[in-house]
Amino acid sequence: MAFRHTAIMTDTALVLGSGGLTGVGWEIGILHGLAEAGVDLTAARLVVGSSAGAVVGANIGARRTTLAELYERQLAQPAGEIPGHLGPGKIFRFARAVLSSRTPEEYGTKMGRMALAADTPSEADRRAVIAGRLLTHEWPERALKLTAVAADTGEFRVFDRNAGVSLVDAVAASCAVPLVWPPVTIEGRKWIDGGLHSTCNAHLAAGCDRVVILAPTPAGGGPLDSPAAQAAALTAAGARVALITPDAAAKRTFGRNSLDPARRAPAARAGRAQAAAHVAAVKALWSGA
């Protein structure tokens, strides 16, 4: 199913959450599996992407290939990636920061401080990796919102085609996992992972009647709303919402390091297999039935 032949639905949103390389693979697997069953979520009017979801959102927005082809890219041997590792020590620092924060901005500031001091690959090398993941470096015509957090203040920002920021830089900022990847310089400021404000930022879909949320990282914590809480808020406001999180089989493929390029293909296969369990509910929602 080629993206270019699909009419954009005017009251729908697809929200793509954070989750590392395994999250990228799993989200594309879910999207491909649903499309095989006749449900094309890439027709959404609005796409929201955070971290892993920023990569997926940019690529489906490009409409340069099919979901089947994009899925096959996930199965190929990773090329041009810099292996990253989010071990127990770094995870502990994330957890300590979030549990000791009262607001997402306070949490973002704490993580930003650590990100600025961390020993990471160079910003240029990391940008080249992100550029290589994208099918195009031009913003799509459709509404695409990519999220990031200011390293100095924890400020939440949404980048879109009107922001005057390159797509590569916006995606790189959204994917700048603290302690692993370097903060990204945009307009003289440093920006880090959009998933630090929320793992899916589904609140950006407010106003849409039908919303599907793919959340590789289903947990909240401290001041951060979970995807389930954000889905509930959208539902309370009158939207029809479907939230999809990894099943047990998918979680096993993720392993303990979501940034391991070798885990991307198993995660994609798991997403494709899991999609079958959601076809009926998502098809009914997406069609307005």
Instruction: Locate 108 and state its tokens.
Output: 């973002």
Dihedral class, residue 71 (left if φ above 0, else alpha if ψ from -120 to 50, else beta):
alpha
Q: Rounded to whole angstroms, how far apart are CA atoms 260 and 254?
A: 9
How many helices and strands in the chain, by DSSP H and E?
11, 8
Q: 247 catalytic, yes or no? A: no
**Selected catalytic residue, list 169, 193, 225, 260:** 193
CA quadruple 122, 258, 201, 139: dihedral sign: positive
Instruction: Locate 268 and state its tokens.
Output: 């994609």
CB-CB contact of 284 with 44 (8 Å): no
Phi (first) and psi of residue 240, to 5 degrees: -95, 125
Residue type, 32: H
**Selected catalytic residue, list 50, 51, 198, 258:** 51
Residues 6+ apart with CB under 8 A from 230: 198, 200, 201, 202, 203, 213
Q: Rounded to whole angstroms, how far apart are CA atoms 61 and 188?
A: 27
Phi (first) and psi of residue 59, to 5 degrees: -75, -35
Q: 225 catalytic, yes or no? A: no
Expressed in percent and rounded to 5, the helix, strand and coil fractions of the chain are 50, 15, 35
Q: Rounded to whole angstroms, how far apart are CA atoms 32 and 36?
A: 6
Q: Rounded to whole angstroms, how far apart are CA atoms 163 and 227?
A: 26
Catalytic residues: 51, 193
